Chain A
Amino acid sequence: MGLKIKLNSVMVENQDKALKFYTEVLGFAKGKDFDVGNGFRWITVISPEGHPDVELALEPNANPAGRTFQEALFKQGIPATAFEVSDIEAEYRRLKAHGVVFSMEPTKMGPISLAVFADTCGNLIQIYQPPGA
């Protein structure tokens, strides 16, 4: 099989602000950033601690269908995506100190721990600590 999974994406309200939040607050590194015209950019971030060739695209939610979907998820409390962490309590405290608002504090669910926060770009994002981390 020649198909590779290398790209995930979240929709964001404002790409400049999103890049700032995903790098400066969440701690990802900037991957690609190029202009695609009409005021939009192709922006990706990568995790300095994950696989450098797996990218998260910060896509504009300018398409009304995208925004409708994004807002419906938000209202239902459903995370747009999830990131793994090795110490959820430490991440929770670090993000809280940055003023990040959590809709779910770190909570144990069987063998894993979850927390959910607002990413200031229109999404809820889940972080989880896997068993044995």
Chain B
Amino acid sequence: MLFILPPGLPVQTNASITRLARARDLLREACDAPLTVADAAREAALSPYHFIRTFKAVFGETPRQVRIDARIEQARRMLALDAASVTDICNAVGFSSLGSFSHLFTRRVGVAPSAYRQNARALIQAPGLLPPQLYPGCLSLMAYWPAA
């Protein structure tokens, strides 16, 4: 990262980029509150059409995908760390149907919510701390470098 810039050069934060990042925050926050793509587009000061196009070109995903990913991520965290039932977690992250939550979760994560909970709990060594296997540190990945 290039914190050091030539003297006299202001850090040029493109206003529309910053607004898009704020819209992304909004999409990820308040998972249980109703929020439409139009609301997020307003945050980015773009028409919904341009918002969806630009958002995808900048972040590689549509606003809707980002919102769903955030909900699934929150569910993963809660399944690993909270005592709440799968149904309660499903509601807490903004899904009204357990069926569609389970289906979506399984498709994204690869295992059903209950199986994810079981696997994650087996990995947890300290209460309240996510197991490093699920949230790797950067270069620890290199431990898996195949022998030449």
Given the interface contacts A21-B60, A59-B138, does A79 sit within 8 Å of B2 by beta carbon? Answer: yes
Q: Which among A63, A75, A101, A118 has the greatest number of chain B C-beta atoms within 10 A? A: A101
Tell me which of A39, A63, A116, A120 contacts B60 (CB under 8 A).
A120
For A59-84 the 0/1 string (1 means CB < 8 A from B) is 11011101000010111111111100
List chain A residues, Cβ under 8 A from B110: 39
Given the interface contacts A62-B135, A63-B135, A121-B60, does A42 sit within 8 Å of B17 by beta carbon? Answer: no
Task: Give Cα distance in the complex from A74 to B115, angstroms.
Answer: 35
The dominant DSSP class at the A interface is mixed
Interface residues on chain B, number (Cβ under 8 Å): 33
> How many residue-residue contacts, CB under 8 A, span A and B?
98
* A14 engages B11 (CB within 8 Å): no
Q: A42-B141, A78-B1, A116-B12 are in contact. List 11 more A-B contacts (CB 8 A).
A: A13-B61, A14-B61, A34-B145, A37-B133, A39-B110, A42-B144, A64-B135, A75-B21, A103-B14, A107-B12, A109-B6
19 A-B residue pairs with Cβ-Cβ distance under 8 Å, sorted by A, are A9-B138, A34-B146, A36-B141, A59-B138, A60-B136, A62-B136, A63-B135, A63-B138, A73-B1, A74-B17, A75-B18, A79-B1, A79-B2, A101-B17, A101-B54, A104-B12, A109-B6, A118-B57, A124-B17
